[in-house]
Amino acid sequence: MLILVTNDDGVRSPGIRALADALKGLGRVVVVAPDRNRSAVGHALTLERPLRAEELKPDVYAVDGMPTDCVNLGIHGLIRQTPDLVVSGINCGSNVGDDITYSGTVCAAMEASLMGLPAFAISLDCTQFNQDDLTLAAGFSRQVAEHVLSKGLPPDTFLNVNVPAGGCRGMQLTRQGKRKYGDLVTTNKDPRGRHYYWIGGGDVGFESIPGSDCNALHEKMISVTPLHTNLTNDDSFAALQDWALGVKA
Ligand code: MN
């Protein structure tokens, strides 16, 4: 078996090392990950400049690009072989609800899924890694990987896995929930009196929706959400169907 491992926290993150180590017994594990933290770059792809990959040690590559670049470069440029599985993580911080569209971790798995490959993303609900939580998340990654490698995934499906920190009661199949982002822009002045703005730092909450990824994590359950990339809102079709907007010359 060939497993491609990537992330958005960068190739030196303890999360990706724990993940790669946990998967090693299942086959050849090749790590192709950004050379620095690329969190919240979403599904970004580098098109305006060339990419470089540095082989840090056998089967571990640092790429000066985005997580989605790493999936492409890994498969088509470096390994030149189709992996049996692509795993992204273990991310430092949960990726639930609306986080998904920002998440480089989740979008790397999405990219693999768009290529028709089985893939999952795994994130730990923490602001800093703790060894016990990381061990638990790595062990669960291994279980998911084994399962996907032997049973496969339904068509057009990749998984978004989120692991709670500080104790875990079990696993739950969930739906994407809803984030409530707080005051997201901090305004301040630099030493020369010019304003600067910093996104983030507000309180991040969630809407309580039973069965959602957010609720599951809050209830100390490992959340497993099957995702696909099509964002069409089928429910709105009825409401928009009688729009008759003419095009005026
Ligand atoms: Mn990250």
Q: Note the pLDDT tens digit of each residue in 154-190.
A: 999 999 999 999 999 999 999 999 999 887 888 999 9
Rounded alpha-carbon distances, angstroms, from residue 88 to 82, 218, 244: 16, 22, 44
Number of residues written out for the chain:
249
Of the CA atoms within 13 Å of residue 240, those in its CB half-sphere come to: 6
Is residue 214's pLDDT more than 80? yes
Residue 155 confidence (pLDDT)? 96
Q: What is the C-alpha separation between 28 and 37, in angstroms, rounded?
A: 25
Residue 184 confidence (pLDDT)? 80
Rounded alpha-carbon distances, angstroms, from residue 98 to 122, 161, 190: 16, 14, 31
Q: Which residues pair with 32 in a beta bridge?
A: 61
Q: Where are the beta strands (DSSP E) in the chain?
A: 2-6, 28-34, 53-57, 60-63, 85-92, 119-124, 158-163, 170-173, 179-181, 185-189, 195-199, 204-206, 221-227
Which of the four pLDDT bands, split at 50, 70 and 90, describes residue 41?
very high
Domain edges within the chain: 2-178+208-230
How many angstroms does the Cα of residue 192 sit away from the middle of ligand 1?
Answer: 32
State what percent of residues in the chain have pLDDT above 70. Answer: 100
How many angstroms does the Cα of residue 94 sit away from the middle of ligand 1?
Answer: 9
pLDDT tens for each residue of 8-24:
999 999 999 999 999 99
How many angstroms does the Cα of residue 246 sit away from the middle of ligand 1?
Answer: 45
End-to-end CA distance of the chain: 59
> CB within 5 A of ion ligand 1: which residues?
8-9, 39, 91
Is residue 246's pLDDT more than 90? no
Is residue 201's pLDDT more than 80? no
How many angstroms does the Cα of residue 10 sit away from the middle of ligand 1?
Answer: 8
Is residue 202's pLDDT more than 80? no
Mean pLDDT of 125-148: 97
How many angstroms does the Cα of residue 232 sit away from the middle of ligand 1?
Answer: 26
Name the nearest CA neighbour of 6 among 24, 19, 25. Answer: 19
DSSP state of 77: I
Rounded alpha-carbon distances, angstroms, from residue 125 to 136, 147, 220, 230: 12, 23, 10, 26
Which of the four pLDDT bands, split at 50, 70 and 90, describes residue 203?
confident
**Fold for the domain defined by 2-178+208-230:** Stationary-phase Survival Protein Sure Homolog; Chain: A, (3.40.1210)
